[in-house]
Structure 1
Amino acid sequence: MTDQAETRTPAPLGPGSLTWRYFGDTRMALVGPRAAVLQNMLPELGQGVLDHSVFFSETFARVKRSAGPILNTVYGGERSAETGRQVRDYHRDIKGTMPDGSRYHALDPETYYWAHATFLDNMLYGVETFIRPLGEDEKRRIYDESKVWFRMYGVSDRAMPEDWEAFQTYWKRMLDEVIVPHKTARYGVGYVKKGLPAPPKVPAPVWRAVSPPLNAVARFITVGGLHPRMREVLDLPWSAADERRYRRFAAVVRAGNRVWPLLPEAVRYVPQARRAFRAARRAPGAHRAPRRA
């Protein structure tokens, strides 16, 4: 495989790509923290977060700070590569020692690619669960787009599978043989068993009244959105009845596809995607921004 980390960056993704259509779709939020939890189940990545991140003290702030630059690597147009390299550079000093004495570094190609792969998986799962089935040709197309997206980071691509079929083999091996219940991943789903933490400005009596249904919804979305192998490794119970309820929920969301394109773009897409669509519409000979489900 050719290592393209130091070669010319490919042209960025644009409004004709399936990734533009779906990655910034607000329905992806229904997947829950699947990608974030799965990232931290790679031992080296989970250890890096444990040693260096504010994830434990400022969980939501950390997620918000990470999401924006990653979205802009997809939707940034001519600035995508610049943003991608900024994201890469945030990780230069994230390194240390594993419990077994081996060394880790966030920019190790296998570690960095794993984080990217979880975003690809998250999008594919979200589309097929809450929007529509994807054909094999569409999956190959999205995978090829993910290769373009990854190369925006300027990181060695030696760990990146060559094609969609190779990615499926890679993904199965990672789930079956590599992921572990790292402390960081367990923390990321801890509220499933312990309940959501009370917001600082909400009075205790009010929180006691509203938290039970909120906790139930959080558990349903979180555990339902995880891959079965993740539930197994993290020891998160999920019954056949839970699965049936989740499938009914997903079917209701998919039924809304008929009206989804009629909703305002501000409802359907995150801000980074909307800004990109506006810029694309202003460009000479532009594609129309994605309108279909």
Structure 2
Amino acid sequence: MGAQQLVDPVGNGSRSRFPVSRENPHAALIEDVRWFGGSLLWPFFGQLALDQVAYREIAAAVDRSGQFAANFTDRGLRSFAFTALYLFADPTDAAAFTAKLKSMHGAVRGRGTGEFADTRYSALNPELWKWVAASGLNLMYKGYLQIAGRDLDATERDIVYQTLRSVLSTLELPSSATTLPATAAELTAYYDEVAATKLADNGFLQQARQHFDHLPVPMLLFPRVIHPAVRPLWRAAIPVFARPAKVCSDANQHPRMRELLGIRWTRANQVEYALYRAVLHLAWRYLPRRLTLDPLAYNRFRYEKIRDTYASAQLDSFAAAS
């Protein structure tokens, strides 16, 4: 068997416990999962993250920050951009952005307003921090399983989970209380427990749900001065993308979230979802990576292809032949 190499999904020292070598039958799966984190497809499952604001203290914090109210689209774009930076920036930059994220959250503490006036929160509360990280892990895990295009067996699902978990583990705080569930089964059990004891309806959750159907023109992409010109086209385009994202997310919501969001899943929804799922699978499998990866991830993809080409020309040893 040839030399094995541990996968480094984020390029910052994180390693999966699954060795990758040409002989490893799961090497292709591990690499596929790794690049999924930089895909333009996982946002189609983005509404799974609504479970974060079904947790009262998190809803109070996000509501108090005002970032969603300022521009809901910009908030989503910032999250997408951070994911790319965290996963595919060079090691020094990735570590710096992660440290900055944790530091900035230190200032997120206090008491909510309005509906949440009775709720105190701290973003660095280990229980809240773990839930947000687990929510992101759940989103990526379920998203990948859906675009894989086939039913993965238990071993393959564990590989998917462990690869994604290795990516997100550097977001954990020093407290062991923030450690992500060790297995997919443990994630399910943890999610069920939080869903039963912590997730509840609130006004901010319902407002966030509605925002996904009426995303405002993003300030990060278009200067305010051209918004009047862009807005008609934007309003026409948003339903084309918002509907598939809503259906894909609804199909994979936990039963508790379906209850809180009032999701009525019908046979027609199931047929619609099957169509979207098939299209996403075909896009991920057959479109060039330059069309399915965000620019930073594609930059890393190209770098590694060139690196491997150069590395293949190198000798294994300078020792004289015996």
The interval holding the TM-score normalised by the smaller chain is 0.7 to 0.9
1:91: how far off? Answer: 0.8
- Whole-Å Cα distance in 2 between the matches of residues 286 and 169 of structure 1? 46
- Whole-Å Cα distance in 2 between the matches of residues 182 and 97 of structure 1? 16
Give the length in aligned residue pairs: 270
1:92 counterpart = 2:106 = yes
How high is the TM-score relative to the length of structure 1? 0.77
Aligned to 2:199, which of 158, 172, 179?
Answer: 179
Identity of aligned residues (%): 17
1:168: how far off? Answer: 1.8
Superposition pairs for residues 118-133 of structure 1, below 5 Å? Answer: 118-132=135-149, 133=151
Q: Match of 1:158, SS?
A: helix
Q: Is the 8 A contact 1:224 1:243 kept in 2?
A: no
| AA of the residue aligned to 2:268 | A
Q: Match of 1:40, SS?
A: helix
1:11 equivalent in structure 2: 13
1:13: how far off? Answer: 4.9
Q: Which protein shows a greater Rg?
A: 2
- Whole-Å Cα distance in 2 between the matches of residues 27 and 201 of structure 1? 29
Displaced runs of 4+ in structure 1, greater than 6 A? 284-288
1:71 equivalent in structure 2: 84
Q: Match of 1:185, SS?
A: helix
1:150 counterpart = 2:150 = no
Superposition pairs for residues 175-254 of structure 1, below 5 Å? Answer: 175-191=195-211, 196=214, 199=217, 200-202=227-229, 211=236, 214-215=238-239, 218-226=242-250, 227=253, 229=255, 230-254=257-281
Q: Match of 2:75, SS?
A: helix
1:179: how far off? Answer: 1.7
The verdict on how the C-alpha distance between 1:29 and 1:162 changes in structure 2, with shifts beyond 3 A counting, is closer
Pick which of 85-94 and 67-76 moved more: 67-76
- Whole-Å Cα distance in 2 between the matches of residues 240 and 151 of structure 1? 38
1:140 counterpart = 2:164 = no
Aligned to 1:24, which of 25, 31, 38?
Answer: 38
1:48: how far off? Answer: 0.9
- Whole-Å Cα distance in 2 between the matches of residues 287 and 242 of structure 1? 49
Pick which of 224-233 and 148-157 moved more: 148-157
Q: Is the 8 A contact 2:44 2:244 kept in 1?
A: no
The verdict on how the C-alpha distance between 1:287 and 1:146 changes in structure 2, with shifts beyond 3 A counting, is farther
The verdict on how the C-alpha distance between 1:24 and 1:258 changes in structure 2, with shifts beyond 3 A counting, is closer
| AA of the residue aligned to 1:117 | A
1:51 counterpart = 2:51 = no
Q: Is the 8 A contact 1:143 1:164 kept in 2?
A: yes
Q: Is the 8 A contact 1:87 1:153 kept in 2?
A: no
The verdict on how the C-alpha distance between 1:223 and 1:175 changes in structure 2, with shifts beyond 3 A counting, is farther
Q: Is the 8 A contact 2:58 2:128 kept in 1?
A: yes
Query: Which runs of 5 or more structure 2 residues have no equivalent in the other structure?
Result: 1-11, 21-26, 218-226, 313-322
The verdict on how the C-alpha distance between 1:249 and 1:82 changes in structure 2, with shifts beyond 3 A counting, is same
- Whole-Å Cα distance in 2 between the matches of residues 171 and 55 of structure 1? 25
Q: Is the 8 A contact 1:151 1:157 kept in 2?
A: no
Return the structure number with greater relative CO, CA threshold 8 A, min gap 6: 1
- Whole-Å Cα distance in 1 between the matches of residues 122 and 305 of structure 2? 41
| AA of the residue aligned to 1:231 | R
Q: Match of 1:88, SS?
A: helix
Q: Is the 8 A contact 2:86 2:97 kept in 1?
A: yes
Aligned to 2:130, which of 99, 106, 113?
Answer: 113
| AA of the residue aligned to 1:134 | L
CA RMSD of aligned residues (A): 3.3
